[in-house]
Structure 1
Amino acid sequence: MRLIKKILGKVLYGIAKMISAIMDFFIQLIVNMVVFVGSFFKGCLALMSMGGCLFFLLFANLGLRILMHPMGLSTILFLLAFLMFGGKLAAYLKYIKYIITEFLFNTANYLMDGINYQYKGFNEFKEAYRKAEEDRIREQQQRYYEQQRKWEERFKQQWYQQHHQGGQGAYGGHSRQGSYGQGFINPNVEFKNKYERSCDIIGVPYDADKAQMKSAYRKKAKEYHPDLSKAPNATEIFQEISAAYEFLSDEHIQRYKNI
């Protein structure tokens, strides 16, 4: 009986490795296809913006024929849908791969060595994945806010040095040369700088409204999503973009306009 369990455990372990390799292949294929389709549409838009009227004169007829053809229209719609939902599909496949393979690995190890391995149910791996994702996001947020805190501290130190080096008056006090004198620190300066830096991160002008910010955020977030981008620091950039958009709330937009 013990020998049969070991053999069955090895078979399950091999199946789990095979499923993991197959799903990794399809996940990477989907990610590469999303990147390729996105680059294709970006290239088309860039060509249109550079070509102007010449582009329409040369390619408008071809484009109309493609759109009028059922197969051409279906292909365009499919590519657009794939671009919109491909990232979500890849993320969902990662989730499915994790819970299935981890369950099979656990069961295989339990069958091969029931003493050192505790059997876990399928639903336990769902909860473990959800918790791991929450911990990963929380860790990224903490890392980002720590970077923000260090940046703000450096900013304050620079203002403090300027204040004390350039703001000393003839009587040892701080001279104030009007509302915006050298020795005066505007309480809104730090907020203004952080607001404008957040706008720079998501790529919008400082007078942009919430709709413009939302559109720019979605574009940037899709470009640097960890499941889609091949950039080595995509996760950090994505987290920075998310934090910047979160800071650009309706309240902060109104406060910036009132400065």
Structure 2
Amino acid sequence: MRKFWGKFILVLADVLDFLIGGLIKILQVIVDVISRLGKSVLSIVALLACSGFVFFLPILIIYLPVFLIVFVFFIVIPLLGRKFISYLEFLHYSAVEYLRNYGDYLINNRENYKSYEEFKKAYRDKKEEEERKRREQERAQNEFWEEVFRNFSEGSSGSGTYYRTYRTGQQSSNGYGGYYQNQSQNYSNPLEDFKKKYENSCAILEVPVNTNTYEVKTAYRKMAKKYHPDINKSESATEMFQKVNEAYEFLTEENIKRYNQYTN
């Protein structure tokens, strides 16, 4: 009876995995579509307001309820949708993994049973660790490019050949092309290197070069879920997932400002 109940629990876990996972994907598509439509509508409204505010103001007053409904639909709903998706992701991990652990415990009598609270805590700890690593990588990324451009500015007044040394002494494992190794090399202009990496990162996340941090974060969430190895089982998913993470780490607010400064 114990093993039968354990098998039932495992089947229930698979059903929940399918249902919650499918619901998350559907909601993500809906939120993305509404967000894109909202940007277009709000851009048109802003253009009309700027081009003829005196004529637009009476229309705004007359149709204020309509504008409020549009605002709620295109702004508030995506925000609430993302929060609900985040909750579903939390439930997806904690509930499904708990049931699988419990089912395995019932079938095999293993002493590795964990409570539901432990899985909830494990999910939060995982997210906090991912955020901590992301912030560290973002800080290292900003410090690196600040040093590159500062050293280039100081050295460009000399012979015209820039000789740079990376001093962090850390072996790169996150796709920065060895930027964190102890090494020296001749490099004529770091701007071209930065520009190429920036535009390549935008292409990976499918955002325009005149992007902003909001668009980058939204695109990252979409692409990360699309290519996450736990969801996408194709051979190229892991490599693409790594590229998506590298692009997101590179497209910081500071690097977006640097690109706009050096290309305008």
| TM class, shorter-length | 0.5 to 0.7
Q: Which amino acid aligns with 1:130?
A: R
Corresponding residue for residue 141 of structure 1? 135
- Equivalence for 2:28: 31
Residue type of the alignment partner of 2:137: R
Residues 222 and 154 from structure 1, CA distance in 2 versus in 1: closer, same or farther, beyond 3 angstroms?
closer
Q: TM-score, normalised by structure 2?
A: 0.55
> 114, 120, 124: which is aligned to 2:118?
124
Please list the CA deviations of residues 125-157 of structure 1 after superposition, one character each: whole Å capped at 9, or x if unmatched. Answer: 111111100111112122222322332332244
Distance 2:245 2:213 in 1: 10
C-alpha change, 1:64 and 1:132, in structure 2 (3 Å) is: same
- The whole-number CA distance in structure 1 between the counterparts of 2:30 and 2:220 is 9
- Structure 2 counterpart of 1:34, which letter? V
Identity of aligned residues (%): 22
1:141 counterpart letter in structure 2: R
- Name stretches of at least 5 consecutive residues in structure 2 with no aligned partner: 161-193, 199-210, 225-242, 256-264
**Cα distance between partner residues in 2 of 1:237 and 1:86:** 25
Give 2:148's aligned amino acid: R
CA distance in 2, matches of 1:157, 1:225: 30
Q: Which moved more, 1:91-100 or 1:153-162?
A: 153-162
Q: Is the 8 A contact 1:110 1:119 kept in 2?
A: yes
2:137·2:249 contact (CA, 8 Å) conserved in 1? Answer: no
Q: Name 1:225's counterpart in structure 2.
A: 217
1:243 CA displacement: 6.1
Match of residue 103, structure 2, among 108, 115, 123: 108
Gaps of 5+ in 1: 167-196, 202-218, 246-259
Q: TM-score, normalised by structure 1?
A: 0.56
Change (3 A) 1:158 1:78: closer
**Closer, same or farther in 2 for the Cα pair 1:34/1:150, shift >3 Å?**
same
Name the structure 2 match of 1:155: 149
Change (3 A) 1:47 1:223: same
SS at match of 1:22: helix
1:13-57 deviations in Å (ceiling 9; x for gaps): 11111101111111112211111111112222344456767xx89
Which of the pair has the greater relative contact order for Cα pairs under 8 Å at 6+ separation?
1
Contact 1:6 1:111 in 2 (8 A): yes
* Matched letter for residue 4 of structure 2: I
1:160/1:80 CA distance change after superposition, 3 Å: closer
Structure 1 counterpart of 2:227: none
Query: Contact between 1:9 and 1:110, CA under 8 Å: does it hold in 2?
Result: yes
Separation of aligned partners in 1, 2:132 and 2:81:
25
Provide the rounded CA distance (Å) in 1 between the counterparts of 2:47 and 2:69.
Answer: 27
Distance in 2 (CA, whole Å) between partners of 1:221 and 1:150 is 19
Q: For 1:47-66, what aligned pairs fall within 5 Å after superposition? A: 47-48=44-45
**Rg bigger for which structure?**
1
Indicate how the Cα distance of structure 1 residues 164 and 66 shifts in structure 2: closer, same or farther if over 3 A, else same.
closer
Report the equivalent of 2:42: 45
CA distance in 2, matches of 1:21, 1:146: 39
The answer (yes or no) to whether the contact 1:31–1:228 under 8 Å persists in 2 is no
Which is worse superposed, 42-51 or 130-139? 42-51
